[in-house]
């Protein structure tokens, strides 16, 4: 743990992948962590790992795109762990397809989780941050925000999160709250495995090809993103707000 004060953090989509790695990292930083995912049961493995390392954690099931569910989840966290002052909006889904093949439901689903979900969670948590005169919001974007074939919905949502982040930074800064954005590049995860399947490529071959195009010559792992989130939530990052950092192994997507 750094010289951070112990806080209560909420990480959405924290049952696996980047969310789970982030929850574990924030717990290692000394924070109590609410592991929020669509189903409470799905988050219990992450909670068990945090508790095994001596941390405090709580599994919470909620659809972040549902207004009542998002508000209820935050209320439960406040009651059982304490008032949350760190929020990581990581929950996400993909419904990839080319524009002319994309259903309206695929567009709406992606917008509902990434944008509506981040809005609802941030709105519910900010009251606790304002009361504490301290807060950290980190939104997980993507290099897909720069454009990516077959992901018109996902790319739009991830670009929208960057504008959302910058506006939160402007509105909430006077309350001691920062808002920043981490945009992962190619990360080994279930989501990128699904992309390889969608385009009909062998997973190992796909990873090798992607890694060759990355300046640091390797694929990213969830812990790479968790480390960046840890920086933004640190006590010492209080003068960094409204920023987007691409954690992609190089300057390009």
Out of 119, 134, 154, 186, the active site residue is 154
Per-residue exposure over 1-28, b if at least 16 CB sit within 10 Å of its own CB, e if not: eeebeebbbbbbbbbbbbbbbbbbbbbb
Distances (CA, A) of 77 to 33, 69, 81, 164, 222: 9, 12, 5, 24, 24
CA dihedral for 76, 77, 82, 88, sign (positive or negative): negative
* 246 among known catalytic residues: no
- 18 near 41, Cβ under 8 Å? no
Question: Tokens standing for 139?
Answer: 């939104």
Distances (CA, A) of 89 to 2, 183, 210: 23, 12, 26
Spatial distance between the Cα atoms of 203 and 219, rounded to a whole number of angstroms = 12
**Catalytic residue positions, numbered:** 154
């Amino acid at each position: 743990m750094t010289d951070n004060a112990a806080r209560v953090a909420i990480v959405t989509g924290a049952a696996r992948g980047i969310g789970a790695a982030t929850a574990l990292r924030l717990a290692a930083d000394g924070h109590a962590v609410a592991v929020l995912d669509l189903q409470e049961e799905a988050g219990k493995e992450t909670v068990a790992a945090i508790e095994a390392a001596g941390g405090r954690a709580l599994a919470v099931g909620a659809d972040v795109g549902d207004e009542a569910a998002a508000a209820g989840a935050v209320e439960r966290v406040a009651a059982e762990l304490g008032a949350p002052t760190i929020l990581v909006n990581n929950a996400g889904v993909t419904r990839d397809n080319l524009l002319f093949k994309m259903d309206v439901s695929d567009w709406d689903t992606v917008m509902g989780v990434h944008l509506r979900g981040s809005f609802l969670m941030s709105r519910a948590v900010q009251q606790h941050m304002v009361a504490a005169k301290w807060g950290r919001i980190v939104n997980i974007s993507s290099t897909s925000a720069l454009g990516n074939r077959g992901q018109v919905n996902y790319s739009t949502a991830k670009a929208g999160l960057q504008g959302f982040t910058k506006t939160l930074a402007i509105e909430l800064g006077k309350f001691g709250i920062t808002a920043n954005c981490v945009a992962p590049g190619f990360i080994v995860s279930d989501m990128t495995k699904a992309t390889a399947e969608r385009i009909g490529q062998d997973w190992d071959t796909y990873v090798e090809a992607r890694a060759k195009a990355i300046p640091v010559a390797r694929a990213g792992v969830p812990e790479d993103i968790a480390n960046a989130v840890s920086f933004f939530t640190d006590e010492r990052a209080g003068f960094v707000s409204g920023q987007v950092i691409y954690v992609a192994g190089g300057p390009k997507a």
